[in-house]
Amino acid sequence: MAVKQYKLLIVESPSKAKTIGKYLGDEYVVKASVGHIRDLPKSNKKAIDIPAGFVPHYEISKGKAEVVHDIESLAKKASEVLLATDPDREGEAIAWHIKEAVGLKKPKRIVFHEITKTAIEEALRHPREIDENLRKAQEARRVLDRLVGYDLSGLIWKKVRYGLSAGRVQSPALRILVEREREIKAFIPEAYWSLTAKVKTQGGTELELSCIEEPRDETEVKNILKIGRGNPWLVRDVKESEVGRSPKAPFITSTLQQAASSRLGFAPSRTMMVAQKLYEKGFITYMRTDSTTLSAEAQRAIIAEISKLYGTKAVEARVYKTKSKNAQEAHEAIRPTDVHKKSLSVTPEEKKLYELIWARTVASQMVDARLARTTIVANVHGNSIPDFTVTGSRVIIPGWLAADQGARGEDVELPAVKKGEMLILLSLSDEAKFTEPPPRYSEAGLVKELEKRGIGRPSTYASIIKTILDRGYVLKEGKALRPTDTGEVVSTFLEQHFMNYISDSFTAEMENELDEIADGTRDYAKTLKAFYGPFSKEVKSKDKIDKITTLGDADAKFKCPKCNDSMIIKLARNGKFLSCKNYPDCVGARTIEGEELAGPRDTGELCPKCEKANLVERDGRFGRFIACGSYPKCKFIKKDEATALLNATGVPCPVCKKGFMTERRGRFGIFYSCTNYPDCKNAIKAKPTGNFCKLCDSLMMEGTKTIPERCSNKACPNHNPHKLAK
């Protein structure tokens, strides 16, 4: 019996494969690579052959060998192989890696910017080869980031502290936040007064007006209060005007992240994750783009929908100019694939983001909104003090605001008053305030700033912010991003020694050069050589600089709690602290605010390695441990049952029944194992609760918010209660 022939179409995502599979017939098999299948090895020595022209050596990513094998098996039986990964550099690179890893001879490359039947059928009619220039641009970015990251991070490990990192794009972003933090710290607040007058009109309506000036002198404030309270008030002027508000361009990646942050409270990474799901389900066009263009077909559909919902008078076809100098990636703005769908039956997050995209897209092709703006100006008779004003507005013609009501704001209706009309003063109050420093950047604000300075590209904004948050260089306080002590120290070190490489101009120019590689107008190897030659010399020259062991002298009022000598500022994993300048001879320490730290606790046991100092019990990042008191001169750490017992949970080991389950730190994070190790190798992933499973008698461990505890035995149905419930 003849084997049925089929065409193999490969995408990255299983969700995307499922959606596309619905539009294609039986002649196609759709397979997902589940993202990248190859990457650079972790060891930098094996990753890139610099003398050969910056040739990267790729390896099959962990867990992807089976995926590669499956694709290879399907490809051998296919009459044709089509690579349909995303329409950007990353997608082009994934397609190339699949071709190389599987050994495909002449695969066809197709691209589409929306997952609809029409778009896929059109893409299938126009296959092409893999774009080597796009692929090389992605490779150049990957190699560049690896070289910069490894070289700079290695130096920071030596000169600042082990475990820190730097990056070609993350470091300029961190510098922007640190520079703002310095402005805030250097800001000197000045006192001023806010004056408010509450009045009643002849019609009986109460109004609250604010003084147009903010006096800085208390004598002037008292004078205004005296005159204002002792004289009659009247309407000095009524200013009325009609103003228009134009709609904004359809979303691009950066503006979607900004709007989702301010209106939905989504972090950029969350926005991109939700948008990815909407794209893969076929509801929106590709979400990594810096083009505001709408296709002619899409524009016609949008205008037809506006006419249907709001009438033909609400329509105004508009073309928006893309602001980005090197607009790239997808060729359209982010829009719904079917504008007739105003909402979706999906997850709450997906629904909110889709409705935001729909509103922005439809509003972009509508007439201006017209608003009536009224300003009432009041003063005492004779106008001897600064004017007090109140402004209100109301919508006359909704225009595009009918579609995007979230952008409308609140209407503030003011009563009808006439110039010269007397007012009744109810109260005149003052409030002393202080000028405030510039605000910290929010995630939306940082994305806007990165875009403005040309740092990064649409696909990188979310990962940049996620990286500096994950590294502990930045904390999120409400919506504000605040650099940590570690972040400030790292940024200061890089600014002092590598400012040329983390400046706005250099970073933006490097992005332009990557764009030129993508265009085919710049050579890959020459570009990397021109950068890496001077950069590597600069890094090597810094080997001679002194290690940053202290960050300066502490305030003279803080003395060592043990020897009463002066103290210095040092950097620990959790931030700055004060240490005795005589350390390690004296281990006195305080918090940065000056409170005494308990410090190491003497065990009375002599160190078996140096036999000069006693062993002390310390609090480490991952629990308590016992080590030599003369560290760093002697780095002995006691690794025995006693040390393990310090971190023990008190839950007996159910296997050997001799030891206790204790917290340990391994390659993949914290886990819990028996104190009787290595005689007993019982271990579980999460903290034991002390209870036992009713199904298999194994130890129960902590679960999640929805599942307080679950069985530690992976083979037990109670290991995943969600599946058990089903």
Biggest CA–CA distance in the chain, Å, is: 106
Residue 243 amino acid letter: V
Enumerate long-range contacts of 353-357, CB under 8 Å, 24 or more apart. 353/260, 353/264, 353/266, 353/271, 353/274, 353/275, 353/278, 354/278, 354/283, 354/284, 356/256, 356/259, 356/260, 356/263, 356/264, 356/406, 357/251, 357/256, 357/278, 357/284
> Pick the catalytic residue: 279, 286, 461, 473?
286
Place of tokens 């009563």: 415
**Annotated catalytic, 310?**
no
Convert 611-652 into a string of H (helix), E (strand) and C (coil).
CCCEEEEEEECCEEEEEECCCCCCCCEECCHHHHHHCEEEEE
**Contact criterion met (CB below 8 Å) for 382 and 224:** no
CA geometry: angle at 506 spanning 505 and 508, to 5°? 65
* Closest CA relative to residue 259, chosen from 356, 152, 347, 348: 356
Pairwise CA distance, residues 163 & 61, whole Å: 24
Structure token pair of residue 232: 């009659």
- Count of beta carbons in the 10 Å neighbourhood of residue 93: 23
What is the DSSP annotation of 199-214? EE-TTS-EEEEEES--
**Contact criterion met (CB below 8 Å) for 358 and 346:** no
Place of tokens 């040390």: 643
| Buried/exposed 50-81: b ≥16 CB within 10 Å, e otherwise | eeeebebebeebeebeebbeebeebbeebebb
Residues 6+ apart with CB under 8 A from 267: 261, 443, 462, 465
* Closest CA relative to residue 263, chosen from 142, 357, 140, 126: 357
**Contact criterion met (CB below 8 Å) for 131 and 139:** no
| Buried/exposed 356-394: b ≥16 CB within 10 Å, e otherwise | bbbbbbbbbbbbebebbebebbbbbeeeebbebbbebbe
**Contact criterion met (CB below 8 Å) for 99 and 75:** no
Alpha helices by DSSP H, listed for 282-380, are 296-310, 348-363
Pairwise CA distance, residues 142 & 56, whole Å: 9
Q: How far is CA 404 from the centre of its chain?
A: 26
Pairwise CA distance, residues 721 & 716, whole Å: 10
Pairwise CA distance, residues 656 & 658, whole Å: 5
Q: What is the separation, in whole angstroms, between the first and last Cα of the chain?
A: 41
568 strand-pairing partners: 553, 579
Pairwise CA distance, residues 171 & 155, whole Å: 14
- Count of beta carbons in the 10 Å neighbourhood of residue 180: 21
**Contact criterion met (CB below 8 Å) for 375 and 239:** yes
* Closest CA relative to residue 156, chosen from 670, 543, 693: 543
Helix or strand run (H / E) with residue 452: helix 443-453
Pairwise CA distance, residues 701 & 281, whole Å: 36
**Contact criterion met (CB below 8 Å) for 152 and 158:** no
* Closest CA relative to residue 363, chosen from 309, 414, 401, 324: 401
CA dihedral 277, 279, 282, 283 (to 10 degrees): 90
Pairwise CA distance, residues 366 & 310, whole Å: 9
**Contact criterion met (CB below 8 Å) for 472 and 484:** yes
Q: Which residues are catalytic?
A: 286
